[in-house]
A and B are shown apart, each in its own frame.
Chain A
Amino acid sequence: MTAAPIRFDVNGVAHSVEVSPWKRLLDVLRDDLRLTGTKEGCGEGECGACTVLLDGVPVNSCLVAAGQCDGRTVTTVEGLARRGGDGETMLHAVQRELVERGGAQCGICTPGIAVCAAHLCDRGALAGAADPRARVRELLAGNICRCTGYQLIVDAVIAAAAAAVPALPPTDDAGERTP
């Protein structure tokens, strides 16, 4: 009942951590698992920077207690990309479009937006929307960006939702695309 390890699946990997059940999932991810892609913005559930999927549903990881994660599945921004058959990293379409269209500025909100938008695209949440741009803005209302104007973010999500094209190859350390 106390001090029992918390066992959960993060990005397809089974983890067991001995932490207080009161510890925030956000801190478990960053401090215990060193998955620092998930960012802390406000710590109050307002900004969405710390969004992860808990059993496939977007949640603010700052508002989830570690104890509540036992036996559950978490997907962070590090878990969006896939390994291709040749071992290459295949970015999720949302990540690829955010990169291609410059849908990011300082980058703190970007992982949360990528996670939330990937979830929406994977579930076809934009399918049949009369006004897809308005739908994106409504569904991403819990992800606040304080740098920019959302236009390029919305563009990227719309493009990702429409695209069923293969991911671009990853970049090397110098930022050059490998052929």
Chain B
Amino acid sequence: MTGYLRPATLADAVAAHAAHPDWMVLAGGTDLMVNANHRSAPPGIVDLCGCAELRGIVRDADTIRIAAGTTWLDIIGHEWVVAQVPILAAAAGEIGALQIQARGTIGGNIVTSSPVGDSLPVLLALDATLELASPRGRRDVPYRSFTTGYRTTVLAADELIAAITIPVPAAGTRLAWRKVGTRAAQSISKVMAAAAIHVEHGLISWARFGLGAVAERPIRAAAAEAAATGRPPDADTGRAVAVALADEIRPITDVRSAADYRLEVAQSLLMRFVINAGKLP
């Protein structure tokens, strides 16, 4: 019979996970429960849904901290998220539909680490940091160095994601997000792009581009970012970004989209983000 534990605190959750390393760590179940009736039961379940510490959003002057078990529904309508990092609220609002948003968690999206995880390009553009917890203590890992390959991460076997910390964007930062899929709801993306572009004295002082569904994992487009830096946010810079991007990503053709389509859409999105960054006050 499958075991079941519902720890009430993060410390208990960490202990339960450490005591039962082969048990499934389950939160909203929107990935792990898919076709559950056709799969063999795990030896046990560590259910994180009873852990109040893993739910909620707090902030200080410089950061917004989202506990890992916070649902998309909680994120979509949260006033600080909407005010400070609206692209995260926008991405959350495009995940699945109401039923999925009510159950799915931001930590689940991160630990599942699908190349098409909807929030992941946004977390890259926002330069989020993950707070990981284990019996050995806590450690912070920048999200940009969390993923290592196709659905692989640096998360140790005894670690849980406790929270996601997002720096409040500096004044002059333009944020952008776009998901391209077959339909608006319930569709797995063909291409996703997120951007944070900082404009100062008419020039892009830095840019962070996060992309999804164009590689084996969500990626930062470093060459495209470099192509934008120090230049005005205009069409010429947009074209330079697109050229740089073509050299650094190699999307694949699969059941959802084609390689050349994905590249062209990713290029168009970044170009548009750069141009729009110049139009905003």
Contacts and interface: CB of A to CB of B under 8 A. Distances in A.
Contacts of B42: 22
B97 A141 contact: yes
A132 interface: no
List the 5 closest pairs (A to B, CB-CB), nearest first: A142-B97, A141-B185, A21-B4, A22-B41, A67-B4
Contacts of A20: 1-2, 41
Say whether chain A's binding surface is mostly helix, strand, loop, or mixed: loop
B33 A59 contact: no
B49 A68 contact: yes
Interface in A1-22: 1-4, 20-22
Interface of A: 1-4, 20-22, 24, 27, 43-46, 48, 51, 57-60, 62-65, 67-68, 70, 116, 138-139, 141-144
Interface in B14-49: 26, 28-30, 33-38, 41-42, 44-45, 47, 49
19 contacts: A2-B2, A2-B44, A4-B4, A20-B1, A21-B45, A22-B36, A45-B30, A45-B99, A48-B99, A58-B98, A59-B103, A62-B36, A65-B36, A67-B45, A67-B47, A68-B49, A142-B97, A143-B97, A144-B186
Nearest to A40: B37
B96 interface: yes
Contact of A67 (B6, B35, B102): B6
A143 B98 CA distance: 9
Given A59-B99, A60-B99, A141-B98, A68 B1 contact: no
A64 B47 CA distance: 11
A27 B36 CA distance: 11
Nearest to B73: A57
B149 interface: no
Interface in B69-124: 73, 96-100, 102-103
A22 B30 contact: no
A116 B99 CA distance: 9
A64 B28 CA distance: 8
B186 A141 contact: yes
B103 A2 contact: no
Contact of B34 (A44, A116, A138, A141): A44
Interface size class of B (residues with CB under 8 A): 20 to 34
B5 interface: yes
A172 to B, nearest CB: 34
Name the residue among A21, A116, A141, A144 with the largest chain B CB count within 10 angstroms.
Answer: A21
Interface of B: 1-6, 26, 28-30, 33-38, 41-42, 44-45, 47, 49, 73, 96-100, 102-103, 184-186
B33 A62 contact: yes
B20 to A, nearest CB: 10
A70 B33 contact: no
Nearest to B184: A141
B48 to A, nearest CB: 10
Given A48-B97, A142-B185, A68 B29 contact: yes
A51 B99 contact: yes
Given A43-B35, A142-B100, 17 more contacts: A2-B1, A20-B1, A21-B3, A24-B33, A24-B37, A45-B30, A46-B186, A48-B99, A51-B99, A60-B103, A62-B33, A63-B33, A63-B34, A65-B26, A65-B45, A142-B186, A143-B97
Nearest to A47: B186
Contacts of A60: 30, 99-100, 103
A53 B100 CA distance: 13
A24 B33 CA distance: 8
Nearest to A139: B98
A27 B33 CA distance: 13
A53 to B, nearest CB: 10
